[in-house]
Amino acid sequence: MSENTNGTTRAVIASRPGGPEVLQIVERPRPVPGEGELLVRVRAAGMNRIDVMQRQGVYPMPPEASDVFGLELAGVVEVLGPGEGRFKRGDRVMALVTSGAHADWAVVHETAALPVPDGMSFEQASAFPETYFTVWSNVFERAALKRGETLLIHGGTSGIGTTALMLAKAFGARVIVTAGSPEKCAACLRLGADGAIDYRQQDFVAVSRDMTGGKGPDVILDIIGGDYIDRDIEAIAFDGRIAQIASQKPKAEINLALLRKKRVTLTGSSLRPQPVALKAKIATALGEHVLPLLAKGEARPLIDSVFPLEKIADAHAHMDAGEHVGKIVLVMETQE
């Protein structure tokens, strides 16, 4: 099924909180771009854990978000809103949105869009915005990872994990990951990780310290929360930085005395509810530092699987299973 041409768009919504079976594809009026916005014919859209949480009804939605799923997309600019000047009709773009990416057509703000590098497919481009914006702002800006330092990534085979791994290696850091099976650990090592810890069989605190000669990692990227935070503080090096970006367990008890003793910086952020101006700042940094890598074929998003929009429930079931390595992507029509 290809795009609509009658002023409507297919869009993914949930009829109620629940499993993949609650997802529906409905017809909605095609959105209209406002000041500084673009109307994009979506060719592919990335999936994220937030989509699952939204479907389950456990994610607090930003006030400006619609009920249409999807935070990131790639496609072709079809209509320019008033005052838009950075792009032109026919440009290939990848963009971050607050909602609405899982549809044939979507409106994006020009400042949250970036050009798709030559030779990069729509599928790869659609897997870029959410994870790369998140990793850049948290690992490289807030946690200030530097060349020669060691980064420990929890959930190394997730979209965030594989992105953080590739970018950290590209900028000269050493990388250790945690993953839930020997197979996932092996996948991370193939991607370039310097060490991999099977958290089901090994204590990441002891092993990460052993892998760093007793020092501990300089930066930890945490997507778990809960009791992991206290264990992160135990594992991390003096003057280390912990970036907490998602929480399966939203509350934590931590050893404040150890945090103070080790001079640890604990920072956290959530990208989706941030204002457009902040996302624009991150987009500018990515354009300067990361797009040149993509243009050379380096550090491009790792794609686990691709589903047509009509198979949205299957795509969610695949994410629910937790066996993917890299990003799950939806395609709206046959790729050219």
Domains of the chain from N-terminus onward: 8-128+273-331 (3.90.180.10), 132-268 (3.40.50.720)
pLDDT confidence bin for 273, thresholds 50/70/90: confident
Task: Tell me how far apart the alpha carbons of residues 229 and 258 are, in angstroms, rounded to a whole number.
Answer: 12
Per-residue pLDDT, 248: 80
What's the rounded mean pLDDT across residues 145-173? 97
pLDDT tens digit string along 166-209? 999 999 999 999 999 999 999 999 999 999 999 999 999 999 99
Q: What is the structure's pLDDT at 24?
A: 97
pLDDT per residue as tens digits for the range 204-234: 999 999 999 999 999 999 999 999 999 999 9
Long-range contacts of 85-90 (CB under 8 A, 24+ apart): 85/110, 86/110, 86/111, 86/113, 87/38, 87/113, 87/115
How buried is 125 (Cβ within 10 angstroms: 0-12 exposed, 13-18 middle, 19+ buried)? buried
Which pTM does this prediction carry? Answer: 0.92
Per-residue model confidence (pLDDT) at position 223: 92
**pLDDT reading at 96 higher than 60:** yes
pLDDT at 6: 59
Distance CA 299, CA 192 (A): 11
The mean pLDDT value for 105-131 works out to 96
Residue located via tokens 């500084």: 36
Token digits of residue 87:
């792009």
Mind listing the pLDDT tens digit for each residue in 281-297? 999 999 999 999 999 99
CA atoms within 13 A of residue 47's CA, in its CB half-sphere = 34
Q: What are phi and psi of 241, to 5 degrees?
A: -130, 130
